[in-house]
Structure 1
Amino acid sequence: MVKLAAKCILAGDPAVGKTALAQIFRSDGAHFQKNYTLTAGVDLVVKTVPVPDTADSVELFIFDSAGKELFSEMLDKLAREWESPNVLCLVYDVTSEQSFSNCGKWLEKARAQIPGASLPGVLVGNKTDLASRRAVDPAQARSWALDQGLECFETSVKEMENYEAPFRYLATQFLHLYREKVELFRGLV
């Protein structure tokens, strides 16, 4: 049984639901807050995620970063102080084409922290409960995510739908990378 720790950066524009996603995940869907204040800086959410089909788990340290450009340098500072992130969760609002377009900027900023290394990640389209206001086509989002080497998910935190899947995927990917590195080191000995 292995228990690992991974640093996860949660990034995206303001008001896309990053904090709601992190909070509902931490509480196992126990409650959805109707009102959130915009994150100023970085909040930390910690949760142990059992990896399916194994006896292993990954403790995710989820750094919920503010989405305002004013605070985007927090990602830079965070990465320097806590070393490089291990996994990335990009979040956009399915009713906002701009929040989806800006994911490229957030991805570039996160990848700049670990040049030359692999950064497993997910793209999460939130607020699917607002289907009548949808502005981002799911196929377009999936295509972009795959082109960037990311897995794509959609969720409705408000309806508590699919909020665990992105984090379970990240934990599984992190464990997979860990095992690959262990095998690489064993091959060197």
Structure 2
Amino acid sequence: MAQLYFYYSAMNAGKSTSLLQSAYNYRERGMHVALYTAALDDRFGKGLIASRIGLKAEASLFNEETNLFKEMHKLHNQQPLDCVFIDEAQFLSKQQVMQLTQVVDELDIPVLAYGLRTDFTGETFSGSKYLLAWCDKMVELKTVCHCGRKANFVVRMDENGNAVRDGEQVAIGGNDQYVSMCRKHFRDLVW
């Protein structure tokens, strides 16, 4: 029986690496998979999932207009899908998470979604909120703060290295703009 998985963490925990490894494992066994990533995150190029350690793969794009259930249903009818992988899942809408539950429940296709749990202010993203609420299994991928503790928050930094406390929830960036920290260091800088 298929399930909806949510792999979540702060930045730099290896979410994309884990996704790419799992997709590779399916393909190596002759199985058919679909990879999706957020259209608004084009740091590594459009339609590309890339990890910091150099792994990458082409992916279809989703944006706020994408009906994931209709897309998966169409793909599945063309060639049966064995698994669906979603990178940058924090950018999914509530409706899209509902559509992923349909993919699992109606098409019996496992969906593995990977994303951030919270934004730079400690609030959940919409996609993360509904994945946490509706997924069958949650898996936390861990990374560390500069102090050695588990990092479960992300701090947005300005060009001078100061923590940003407010602003738009979504600002695409990498290590140049974000630092993963434990709750204590996050709290000291952001709260």
Where on the TM-score scale, by shorter chain, does this alignment land: which range? Answer: 0.3 to 0.5
TM-score (structure 1 length as normaliser): 0.40
Structure with more helix by fraction: 1
